[in-house]
């Protein structure tokens, strides 16, 4: 299992604005998308390329291209949708699936309510996107569902994570690499990430 935390001055700058409670919905949404694009670049560092021949305005040449059809992005609803535009800008022809979950406020456990993925997903690389990796419950459940469909290659992209969430994925799914903009200090008694950035879904959609 590989855990990649983005350590870069621009990421730290963008996260500072994202975390600020004074940041409005429009700017928050744009920053989530921007950071998702950067995470996607990092997650595809090991992408396999296919040799092709093209013709430039001057001459023919041999080069390499990505098989975009090999990739599937799966946002965990609803907050994961905020990252979708950012990753699609990087791989515009990737397929899209959706996993719907919400957190039971009493137990902090994820409840699944929707699962829709492209045909032939077991032969593709799947990248799950969700802004927050707190306890890891939703992530583990999403990975379970995908493995039940025969998916072998899975990565998880999130903006803010915790050691607890990472460890919970590691316990059950050591073959899933995690890419995160920042690993935060702790979870509070309500299982929210601290210092965190609040409820990502509410801030993306302006529902609070």
**What positions carry a catalytic annotation?**
103, 107, 199, 202
Task: Give the other-Cβ count within 10 Å of 32's Cβ.
Answer: 25
The tokens for 41 are 């670049």
**CA geometry: angle at 177 spanning 97 and 122, to 5°?**
40
* Residue 34 backbone phi and psi in degrees, to 5: -60, -45
DSSP β-bridge partners for residue 193? 187
Q: Which parts of 61-196 fold into alpha helices (H)?
A: 81-90, 137-148, 163-172
Tell me the CA end-to-end span of the chain in Å, nearest whole number.
36
- Among 11, 4, 48, residue whose Cα is nearest residue 178: 4
Residue 195 preceded by cis peptide, ω within 30: yes
CA dist., res. 110 & res. 133, Å (int): 12
């Amino acid at each position: 299992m590989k855990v990649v935390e983005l350590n870069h001055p621009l990421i730290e700058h963008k996260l500072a604005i994202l975390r600020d409670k004074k940041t409005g919905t429009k700017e928050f949404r744009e920053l989530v998308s921007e950071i998702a694009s950067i995470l996607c670049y990092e997650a595809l560092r090991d992408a396999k390329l296919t040799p092709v021949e093209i013709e430039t305005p001057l001459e023919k040449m041999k080069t390499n291209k990505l098989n975009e059809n090999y990739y599937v992005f799966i946002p965990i609803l609803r907050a994961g949708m905020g990252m979708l535009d950012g990753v699609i800008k990087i791989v515009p022809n990737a397929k899209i699936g959706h996993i719907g979950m919400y957190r039971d406020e009493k137990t902090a456990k994820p409840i699944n309510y929707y699962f829709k993925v492209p045909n032939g997903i077991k032969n593709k690389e799947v990248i799950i996107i969700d802004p927050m990796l707190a306890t890891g419950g939703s992530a583990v459940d999403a990975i379970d569902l995908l493995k039940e469909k025969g998916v072998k290659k899975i990565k998880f992209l999130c903006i803010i994570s915790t050691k607890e969430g990472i460890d919970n994925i590691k316990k059950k799914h050591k073959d899933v690499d995690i890419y995160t903009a920042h690993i935060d200090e702790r979870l509070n008694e309500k299982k929210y990430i601290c210092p965190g950035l609040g409820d990502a879904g509410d801030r993306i959609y302006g529902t609070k």
